[in-house]
Amino acid sequence: MVHEHPSELGHRRSVRFLGWLAIVMVGFVVAEVASCIFLFHQRQQYGQLFYFDIDHYVQGLQPAQLQVHKRAAELRHIWAPDPTLGWRRTPLSTHFFQASGTTVHTDRWGARVIPNAAGPASIATYGDSFTEGLEVSDAETWQAYMAYATGTRVLNFGVSAYGPDQAVLALEANLERGIHTPIVILAMINENLNRMMNTFRLFYTYPIDDIVLGFKPIFVHTDSGFEPKSFAPDDITDIDAVRRALWAASRYDWFYQHRTERIRFPFSLGAAGFLVRHGLNPVWWPDYSVGLPRARMEYILARFYHDSHKYKFTPVFVLLPGSVAELRSRMGNDHPVFSAMAGQSKFPGLIYIDVVKELSSVHAKMLVADFTPESYIAITHPSAQGNQAIARVIRARLRDQLAALGVRK
């Protein structure tokens, strides 16, 4: 029997240990690299799930940037900060959108101009960029097509990034300053449901940054019902005040509260936690069929309905298609939330127009002969043809109301 010298045995054990250690280290490095790639990919796909660092954001704000934002109305920028609405479209402004090559002009009220529209103002419309008509010219919005067809003026108060809460508050502000029309349209797309759960634009959209210091109001539930609450600081050039306002807003923002994920070492634990919490197909928006989200939307509709009685106008709630995919998938079916929420049993006299249902139905071509889902979107918003289709659906549903006003239908 050959006996190994103790030193040789120790050497072999050391080599074996180092071999296993190298395998473990390589495996650890591979797992970390793979986990890091996974997390970065998930942040690219589901950025709304990843942490928003308020203090880091505030540190990046430049005093000159805040000064310009404060003077936005004076400088005639397209949007200006507003203590009640968060931001508003500036009166008598002009803004060119590079991506679509289109220009937005506003009148003395801040409504988008409709060239050559004449006659009395029969309709006022409120909503987001799908109401504003972001990617078409002033003469190609759905309001413009309605104005030309009816021989009246249609006021376009749509504002990019608005939620339905802001739209209703904007309507009320206009009603209080005397802007009245016999018909008022509150329009939205399905995605806008998320915005009524949001108090600061970037809490919802980050890493996309589109509205500077986009504080927005939200309807907060109190013992006496829902009340609007705003978080914008009195002086938006005061960095400390902005920081305090952001932390206050974060306590009411659903999306900030659900930004739980971070990309930091060890990445493998972060990746494992992500999979446990969200799986491979995360859902990062609230369930609007129950609880506070549904109650908040019902309140917005109820408030709109109450305004219609107080100020004597016909209330029209319009659901617009948000994408080609939505038009392809709905196939003429009712919306799972709004079909019951906006019904006549709750709001007698409110007219609910589901444009998505109408344009996704097999009968759509009977109403809009040349319409296809693929023609609806320009870049991310309705094309001129898409806006024409929207106008035709709304005009068809408002035929009796327009006839009562004595205008062309």
Provide the H-helix boundaries in 190-266.
192-195, 201-205, 239-250, 254-257
* In a domain? residue 63: no
Say how far apart CA 259 and CA 68 lie, in whole Å: 30
How much is the pLDDT for 151? 93
Contact between 259 and 49 (Cβ < 8 Å): yes
How much is the pLDDT for 4? 60
Kindly give, in sequence order, each residue whose CB lies less than 8 Å from that of residue 44, ignoring residues fewer than 6 positions away: none
Mean pLDDT (the chain) is 92
204: which 2 tokens? 């919802």
* In a domain? residue 24: no
Return the percentage of the chain with pLDDT > 90, whole number: 73
| Structural domains counted in the chain | 1
SS3 50: strand
How much is the pLDDT for 2? 53
* In a domain? residue 324: yes
Strands 79-82 and 86-89: antiparallel
pLDDT digits (tens, 9 = 90+) for 320-341: 999 999 999 999 999 989 988 8
* In a domain? residue 126: yes
Residues 199-219 have a mean pLDDT of 92
* In a domain? residue 363: yes
Return the percentage of the chain with pLDDT > 70, whole number: 96
Contact between 134 and 184 (Cβ < 8 Å): no
Q: What is the dihedral of CA 367, 395, 99, 190, to 10 degrees?
A: -80
pLDDT digits (tens, 9 = 90+) for 238-262: 999 999 999 999 999 999 999 999 9
Residue 80: CATH number of its domain:
3.40.50.1110
Provide the H-helix boundaries in 312-398.
324-330, 338-341, 355-360, 364-367, 384-397
* In a domain? residue 269: no
Query: Could you tell me the residue range of the domain that residue 180 belongs to?
Result: 76-197+286-404
* In a domain? residue 357: yes
Residues 121-150 have a mean pLDDT of 97
Residue with tokens 């829902």: 226
How much is the pLDDT for 366? 79
* In a domain? residue 100: yes
Is pLDDT at 280 greater than 90 in this prediction? no
Contact between 80 and 87 (Cβ < 8 Å): yes
What is the band of 123 on the pLDDT scale with cuts at 50, 70, 90? Answer: very high
Is the previous residue joined to 286 through a cis bond, with omega within 30 degrees of 0?
A: no
What is the band of 79 on the pLDDT scale with cuts at 50, 70, 90? Answer: confident
Contact between 126 and 167 (Cβ < 8 Å): yes
Which burial class, exposed, middle or buried, applies to 1 when counting CB atoms under 10 A from its CB (0-12, 13-18, 19+)?
exposed
Is pLDDT at 182 greater than 80 in this prediction? yes
How much is the pLDDT for 327? 95
